Amino acid sequence: MQDFERGVFLGILIGAGHFGGDGRQPHVTVRMHSRQKALFAWLIRVVPGSRLYGPYRHGGRDYCQWMVRGTPLRELLPVLDRLPLADISPPTFERYLKMKRDYSLP
């Protein structure tokens, strides 16, 4: 990932990212309105192995969900570790650390 891509990715994760898991494996997700197709396509291109789900329509909302998990997530961890999450968004950084602790990630 180039510097510009890392910066955009950082902003997306701070604004719309979720760090968690399903109890078996960790994942990073971004849920946004379905009209963000170009941004979702960019995420798929920049994070190889990530997936897009949806569109979903629920409770008056129209959204898609981008997700990275499994081997692609493990390959992304060094990038995530180098992002200045702790400096820019301590709450986002804490959620990231919690995911790593909960799923015994390096």
86's tokens = 């702790």
Query: How many separate domains does the chain show?
Result: 1
Cα–Cα nearest to 1, from 33, 68, 46: 46
Tokens at residue 9, please? Answer: 């990715």
Side by side, the strands of the sheet bearing 51-58 are: 17-21, 26-33, 61-69, 51-58
Q: What is the pLDDT of residues 48-81, one digit of tens each?
A: 999 999 999 988 899 999 999 999 999 999 999 9
| CATH number of the domain within which 68 lies | 3.10.28.10
9-31 pLDDT per residue, tens: 999 999 999 999 999 999 999 99
pLDDT of residue 36: 96
Range of the domain at 31: 3-102
